[in-house]
Amino acid sequence: MLTVGQKAPDFTLFNTEKKEVSLSNFKGKNLIVLFFPMAFTSVCTAELCEMRDNIATYSRLNAEVVAISVDSPFTLAKFKEEQNLPFDLLSDFNKEVSQTYDTYYETFVLNLKGVSKRSAFVIDKDGIVQYVEVLESAGDVPSFEAIQQTLATL
């Protein structure tokens, strides 16, 4: 499991415009990386809309946001459009990044195999993990307050 103080594992995933996005693209910036189980579900929608509605707060804290799920780029594109999300949604369709970040359900509800756990990571300008929250219950959401407090110290 990733812990505070570790170097964040790099990744390269496709966004909803079918362009590759890598962790290394954010060097020199603070980054919030959210993993979420599935687009179009109630808790995931509420979580990402919370980020959308407070994007100015994260901008003031000098942070970018990406959200990752195992959904396809096409599903994520529709979800992003419908919810008017102002940050990249990245497809971990091959489930490699979710496993690397140890935020992965082998078996999820309805016996679905290989779904990202809801989790939040704050990675600083140097690529070091400054905050980790991996939730076992998909019905819970990360502590946005704790994320903001962490960013305020960077």
Give the CATH number, domain containing residue 37.
3.40.30.10
CB count in 10 Å sphere of residue 95: 14
| pTM as predicted | 0.96
How many domains does the structure of the chain reveal?
1
Q: How large a percentage of the chain has pLDDT more than 90? A: 94
Query: What value does the mean pLDDT take over residues 96-122?
Result: 92
Q: What is the pLDDT of residue 27?
A: 93
For residue 74, CA distances in Å to 4, 17, 39, 67 come to 33, 9, 11, 15
Residue 101 CB contacts under 8 Å (≥ 6 apart), including other chains = 2, 9, 33, 35, 119, 121
Under 8 Å between Cβ of 25 and 107? no
9 domain residue, yes or no: no
Q: What is the pLDDT of residue 12?
A: 98
Q: Which residues are catalytic?
A: 44
DSSP code for 10? P
35 domain residue, yes or no: yes
12 domain residue, yes or no: no
4 domain residue, yes or no: no
Asked if pLDDT for residue 113 goes beyond 90, the answer is: no
> Measured between alpha carbons, how far is 83 from 45 in angstroms, rounded to an integer?
8
Q: What is the pLDDT of residue 108?
A: 84
Asked if pLDDT for residue 99 goes beyond 90, the answer is: yes
126 domain residue, yes or no: yes
Name the residue range of residue 135's domain.
Answer: 28-152
Q: What is the pLDDT of residue 107?
A: 85
Q: How confident is the model at residue 111 (pLDDT cuts 50, 70, 90)?
A: confident
Query: What value does the mean pLDDT take over residues 118-128?
Result: 97
Q: What is the pLDDT of residue 52?
A: 97
Give the pLDDT confidence of 26-45 residue by residue, as tens digits: 999 999 999 999 999 999 99
21 domain residue, yes or no: no
Asked if pLDDT for residue 110 goes beyond 90, the answer is: no
